[in-house]
Structure 1
């Protein structure tokens, strides 16, 4: 009889990952099985091609950008702990836990601020800490495809950057980005079904 605890022993640093990501032991176990299912060649890590098998990412216009986030600094593979850390950004926020959190502990990966940081890096293509009009235009092209003319996209990108750009430098900093999204329910909008 395979007990849950014996399965959890298969997961490297399960207790540490649970604390860091907020996933329950049962969720970590499901993610571990999903990770192993995606690792079709049983390499012990995932490649970009392995992640492209995830249906929710395949149909997401920003799917390639999200997949890029699994491979920071040009890495070509992602291990299970890093896989879970990235996915934690898409876990719904625990509103009831926010007031009980020890302020000396790191902010949860699924907090509003960390979700915003993650979203910001999807737009900040050159990683310079700012979203330029050109970067906004590139992301808009991905999101709307051919449904909108290039002139309309350029107008939307220009207006979006102008509205968020409080210091007038022609780009959107992370703080400006966060402020422009303060009324959006980012905690619920940023979710991906990964277990199917």
Structure 2
């Protein structure tokens, strides 16, 4: 169309569609958003090597309208960055939008929700993880007693084996019963 240089080859676009839950239109929109975050460092044609290595820093990602209001935006970027830096390559960026898309299956969303809530990355959601999650959700506006009560109630309701922490299966079991989970665990691109 016109004389505009395409960011991807047809094969690249087809591969991104096959590997994500995003439409062609969403992939191209994600590329435009990512390009805006990279301060001119992204070449006109986004080859696979560049897509897998060039990163957008968290400070730039934090300005995205699509993430700005999410209290977990920094943690989300940490999880998707793979190395905990919160800087994302294009492939990680598109994976984030894919997981948070309306077309992503519940199981995948629940698995990533677990990873986001597992702040200490020990494979369980313990009291400290829950405390951090509640503080994120409440913008740190409650007192210590209120936080302790909420954390205790969550564990009382969800900790099936009574070990003081939630395993991934316990978390997913509870989260998938929540009627609001799918409607709240998405980002429109």
Aligned partner of residue 125 in structure 2, secondary structure? strand
State the shift of 1:9 in Å: 2.9
Task: Report the Cα distance in structure 1 between the residues aligned to 2:187 and 2:80, rounded to whole angstroms.
Answer: 14
CA contact (8 A) 1:8 1:14 kept: no
Matches within 5 A, 1:44-193: 44-75=54-85, 77-93=87-103, 110-185=104-179, 186-193=181-188
Q: Are residues 141 and 74 of structure 1, via their aligned partners in 2, closer, same or farther at CA, if it must alter by over 3 Å?
A: closer
Task: Report the Cα distance in structure 1 between the residues aligned to 2:26 and 2:68, rounded to whole angstroms.
Answer: 22
Task: Report the Cα distance in structure 2 between the residues aligned to 1:146 and 1:125, rounded to whole angstroms.
Answer: 16
> 1:100-155, CA deviations, whole angstroms, 9 ceiling, x for partnerless residues?
xxxxxxxxxx2101100111111111211110011101111121134322201111
> 1:41-85, CA deviations, whole angstroms, 9 ceiling, x for partnerless residues?
425431111211113423221121112123112456422122101
CA contact (8 A) 1:90 1:192 kept: yes
Residue number in structure 2 paired with 1:104: none
Mark the runs of 5 or more structure 2 residues left unpaired by the alignment: 43-53
CA contact (8 A) 1:40 1:50 kept: no
TM-score, normalised via structure 2 length: 0.83
Q: Which runs of 4+ in 1 moved over 6 A?
A: none
C-alpha root-mean-square deviation of aligned residues, in Å?
Answer: 2.3
CA contact (8 A) 2:71 2:137 kept: yes
Aligned partner of residue 147 in structure 1, secondary structure? coil
Task: Report the Cα distance in structure 2 between the residues aligned to 1:189 and 1:77, rounded to whole angstroms.
Answer: 24
Count of matched residue pairs: 177
Aligned partner of residue 177 in structure 1, secondary structure? helix
State the shift of 1:28 in Å: 1.0
Aligned partner of residue 141 in structure 1, secondary structure? helix
